[in-house]
Structure formats: C-alpha cells, structure tokens
Amino acid sequence: MATLFDFKSWYDTTGLKKETSELLTKQDLDTKEALVLVTESDITNLEMALGQRKLLVKAIFLLH
C-alpha cells in the first residue's frame, strides 16, 4: 500500500521558499509521482532563483 505524500510537510523540510512551493503547485508538481520524474532540464526551465533550483534538485534526489 502506497503512503500518502504530504507536499507541504515535504517542502517545509527542504529549505524551499513559499514562492517555490507555489510555483511547483501551479505546474502540478506537488505529488511525489510527479516530482521524481522532474529532470534538471525541467528545473532549469522553471523561473526560480539558482539557490532554489539547487535545493529542489537535492530535495528531489532525496525522494528516490
């Protein structure tokens, strides 16, 4: 049985800013299933600061 993914709890532990969370939600990237499919190229195409992109890459890596 799959466990539920709590997006807010996840991003609260990543160091990501609220604006980044809102951007991910707007792009329908607020589920574990979607996040683990995101590539660095995808992240580069999102309009976010470099530091937030780096934190997002790390946070997604840790989801695997």
d(CA 39, CA 14): 17
Query: For the purposes of burial, counting CB atoms within 10 Å of the CB of 33, is it exposed (0-12), middle (13-18) or buried (19 or more)?
Result: exposed
What is the pLDDT, as a whole number, of residue 2?
A: 52
* pLDDT score recorded for residue 4: 87
pLDDT in tens, 1-48: 456 899 999 999 999 999 999 999 999 999 999 999 999 999 999 999
- Give this prediction's pTM: 0.87
